[in-house]
Homo-oligomer: A and B are copies of this chain.
Amino acid sequence: MFPLKPKPIGLPPGALIHTGRQKSSEITLNLIDYDADHHLSREQVSLEECLPLKETASVSWINLSGLHDIDLLQQLGDAFSIHSLALEDVLNTGHLPKCEEFDGYLLLIFKLLHINEQSGALEQEQISMLVGPNWLLTFQEKPEDIFDRLRERINRANGRIRQRGTDYLAYAILDSVVDSYFHVLAHLGERLESMENKLLLDPDSQSLQDIHKLRQELALMRRSVWPLQIAITEFQHIESSLLSEETAPFLRDLLDHISHAVESVEMMRDGSSNLLDLYLSLASQKMNETMKVLTIMASIFIPLTFIAGIYGMNFENMPELKLAWGYPTVWLVMIGCALGMVWYFRRKKWF
């Protein structure tokens, strides 16, 4: 579940408080500035180096990793004239994905999902993106390598991305993120399938917790992709000079991908529900088996024990005890009883 981070009641709206857990001790500011002809990429820059590029016609992409320096954020916000409500949303890392139009720029918030390789758990990080006319700001909770290949594509002089504006860059970032969802989905899909195979072969008590965990991760996944689908639809339909005609087919394609992701999450949720049904059905089946074994054993031997008990009594006057064929007869009766029970259970198809 996304952490709900209440702020103190009665604070004025737009008050900047970093409500998320601090995920990185370091705060880094990276800068990429390009157009069709030139290209500049610098890491660990200071805010002062970034600001002049805001005015140039070339695309300036400033990426901030680490959100706990409120002052830096405030300065950045002031420099690019960002509304305080937008900055507040950037800081609240428990936000749902959304797209909102402000005066002269767009705010997009979305989630980066990845599988933690050690624990196998699904982790999420919030990325906020502010898209202006020739600048684009991204805010991450901690440095991620998902943008590295994108930076390489920008490096190459002949890429399509170098010919286009910030809208295409925003698209390219969203596309990388949505592509990364499919890796997560593939991982979850494999787990779902292997769980199912395990369940049919050899269900154990661990299975239940695995299913429960998967369902929780799918719920988290769903909460990331559903609102993003809505946000991208809104992004696509915003009538703004920020979006050029040429980017439209790419956004349509992106929407197609995110719809596929949504659809897949729903399918896997159905699948995991079916798995739980299957688990419960198998458990009930095994219970039936157990009961049958008990009933068969008890029904065969309890009457026999009773017969043995009869002739274990110490009455002085028990004529059967003195008969020479008494003992073998009792054996025959017992065997008859047992066979009768066996026949009865076979007729009931219990074994």
Residues of A that sit less than 8 Å from B by CB: 1-13, 83, 85, 89, 95-96, 98, 100, 146-150, 152-153, 159-161, 172, 175-176, 179-180, 182-183, 185-186, 189, 192-193, 200, 202, 205, 208-209, 212, 215-216, 219, 223, 227, 249-250, 252-253, 256, 259-260, 263-264, 267-268, 270-271, 274, 276-288, 290-295, 297-299, 301-306, 308-318, 320-327, 330, 349-350
The 4 A-B pairs with the shortest beta carbon distances in the complex, nearest first, are: A10-B149, A308-B309, A6-B182, A311-B313
When chains A and B are docked, how far (Å) is the Cα of A270 from the Cα of B220? 11
How far is A176 from B6 in the complex, measured between Cα atoms in Å? 11
In the complex, A150→B194 CA distance in Å?
41
Instruction: Select A9's contact among B183, B267, B323, beta carbons within 8 Å.
Output: B183
SS class, residues of chain A in contact with chain B: helix
Are B96 and A260 closer than 8 Å at their CB atoms? yes
Contact among B89, B179, B202, B299 for A7, CB-based, below 8 A: B179
A223 CB to closest chain B CB (Å) equals: 6
Beta-carbon contact of B314 and A318 below 8 Å = yes
Q: When the two chains form their complex, are residues B297 and A10 in contact, meaning their CB atoms are under 8 A apart? A: no
* A322 touching B326, Cβ below 8 Å: no
Pairwise interchain contact B85-A249, C-beta atoms closer than 8 A: yes
Residue from the list B147, B212, B249, B290 in contact with A295, Cβ < 8 A: B290
Cβ-defined partner of A314 (8 Å) among B219, B283, B290, B314? B314
Bound-state CA distance A256–B160 (Å) is 36
Distance in Å: Cβ of A77 to nearest Cβ of chain B: 15
Nearest CB of chain B from residue A66's CB, rounded to whole Å: 22
| Residue of B whose beta carbon sits closest to that of A150 | B10
B12 x A153 contact (CB < 8 A): yes
Give the distance to chain B from A18, nearest Cβ to Cβ, in Å. 16
- Shortest Cβ distance from A314 into B: residue: B321
* Cβ-defined contact, A153 with B10, below 8 A: yes
Partner of A249, one of B83, B297, B350: B83
* Seed contacts A6-B183, A294-B295; 6 additional CB < 8 Å A-B pairs: A4-B185, A8-B149, A208-B278, A227-B263, A287-B288, A316-B322
Instruction: Please measure, in the bound complex, the distance between the C-alpha atom of A193 and the C-alpha atom of B2, giving whole angstroms.
Output: 12
Residue in contact with A159 in the complex, picked from B12, B89, B182, B260, CB distance below 8 Å: B12
A selection of 28 A-B contacts at a CB cut-off of 8 Å is: A1-B193, A4-B186, A5-B182, A7-B179, A9-B149, A9-B183, A10-B146, A10-B149, A11-B179, A12-B153, A12-B161, A13-B172, A13-B253, A95-B260, A100-B256, A205-B285, A212-B274, A212-B278, A223-B267, A286-B288, A290-B292, A295-B297, A309-B309, A311-B313, A314-B314, A314-B321, A316-B322, A317-B326
